[in-house]
A and B are shown apart, each in its own frame.
Chain A
Amino acid sequence: MRATLERASPARIARRPTRPQLIKAAITAVLLLFAFLALPELLSLYYIDTMTQVAVYSMVTLALGLLVGRVGLYSLGQAAVLAIGAWAAARLLFATTQPYPLVLLEAGLITMVAGLLIGLPTLRLRGLYLALITLMLAGSITVVLATVNFPNGGHGFLGYNGGLLHIPPIRRPGIAASDPAYFRYSMVVAVLMFALVLAHIKTRPGRAWAAIRQSEPAALAAGINIWFYKLWAFALASFITGVAGGVLAGAIHYLYSINFPTQDSITLLAVTLMGGVFSLWGAVVAALLYQFLPALLNNWGVSADWLIILFGVGVLQVLTTAPAGLADQVPKDLARLGRFLGRRLRHLSGRRPGGDAG
């Protein structure tokens, strides 16, 4: 009895998850287990590769969603940040025999330092100017990458040798050499990154970011170090994107600068907004839009370029009517549809005894 009473103290009650929260957690766990255990068995190699890309890009959209949705920083340079992460990971993988997780961590940290160097001067800018200056920096990085190229097993700091006839593939971790195993590996990394973000959102930095997003003067008045927390968000987003770049390097084996055009940054922001920036599920939806949908269309023989139009329309819709994106809209719409169908059914069954339904 005493134990029950103690457990019922106010502090404990506040922390105990509510029923909807538990249901949500259970659904998440089931979906994750399904993706981890069953998906590689059910899908063809083509779609397994696609799902690996989805796992990779869900980390990128997660980082972008964090910046846009939680802190209110619009960055148009995420594809370039991803390229930096991939470059760093590829260089480390060719140069050393370190275990893969360590390389991912290092690639994330290197990208974080690069992100901080970009963030330090630019974070004074806000809104449109921040978005455009990150776009400009992404453009510069793309040009630099096109010149220095991605490492391909050559020597020197850049690790690129244009004269190589046989380019060695970028290695994968020993436990995940096959495509299905690598999908599982990238999924685990993605889940870890999501957990990292969740841990931030639920604690002090998350509250500080929420305050900054609401109003910078108010956050300042509340004693929040705006500059520090903005930089923290930028560093965290760069770290996650860098890790994603490392996973991407192993996933596609060969990296070329042409794979990271500047426009991708814009498309990434579009899908992130469409997926929903206020929920972590939005990042998954965005990654599905960005990688799974084109793969599906390619498989059907339809050009994936049509999707750009869809993304354009989607962004307009998000900006005008559904600020929380698909992750928020679809469950609501489904519930509405369910209620509507339920009403129709009740209506029909109510009238049927009368004989004439029409």
Chain B
Amino acid sequence: MALDATTLTFLVISSLAAVLIARLRSITVTFVAAIVIGLLHDLLTPIASLTNYRDMTPFVIAAIGLLVLSRHQVMTQSREEA
């Protein structure tokens, strides 16, 4: 990974994925999520058909995680509470 401004910005975005899975509430969950994301990302490297898509790992996991975690959310909630 080269050290340039763009990559570093992207690094923050993908790190957000781990924080999101913890819903900004738990450092432990963030830590575990980050480890899982990192592991999965690197485990996908040898799989030829998926290796180009491995950078998607944090986003996909965060998206799935958020959707699963928020499935019980109640609709009637004011904007401020969200």
Contacts and interface: CB of A to CB of B under 8 A. Distances in A.
Interface string B1-35: 00000100110011011001001100000000000
A125 B6 contact: no
Contacts of B62: 132-133, 136
B47 to A, nearest CB: 14
Contacts of A72: 79
B66 A137 contact: no
A128 B79 CA distance: 11
A121 B60 CA distance: 13
A140 B55 CA distance: 8
A143 B55 contact: yes
B81 to A, nearest CB: 9
Contacts of A128: 24, 82
Contacts of B16: 132, 135-136
Given A133-B66, A261-B6, A217 B77 contact: yes
A183 B33 CA distance: 48
A147 interface: yes
Contact of B59 (A124, A125, A129, A139): A139
Nearest to B63: A136
Contacts of B70: 124-125, 129
Q: How large is the interface on B (under 10, 10 to 19, 20 to 34, 35 or more residues)?
A: 20 to 34
A263 B12 CA distance: 11
Nearest to A263: B9
A122 interface: yes
A148 to B, nearest CB: 9
A339 interface: no
Nearest to B54: A143
A140 B59 contact: yes
Interface of B: 6, 9-10, 13-14, 16-17, 20, 23-24, 52-53, 55-56, 58-60, 62-63, 66-67, 70-71, 73, 75-79, 82
Interface of A: 72, 121-122, 124-129, 132-133, 135-137, 139-140, 143-144, 146-147, 213, 215-217, 220, 226-227, 261-263
Given A129-B23, A136-B58, 12 more contacts: A72-B79, A125-B73, A129-B20, A129-B66, A135-B16, A136-B17, A136-B20, A136-B62, A139-B56, A143-B56, A146-B52, A147-B53
12 contacts: A124-B71, A126-B82, A127-B79, A129-B66, A129-B82, A133-B66, A136-B17, A136-B63, A140-B63, A143-B55, A217-B78, A263-B10
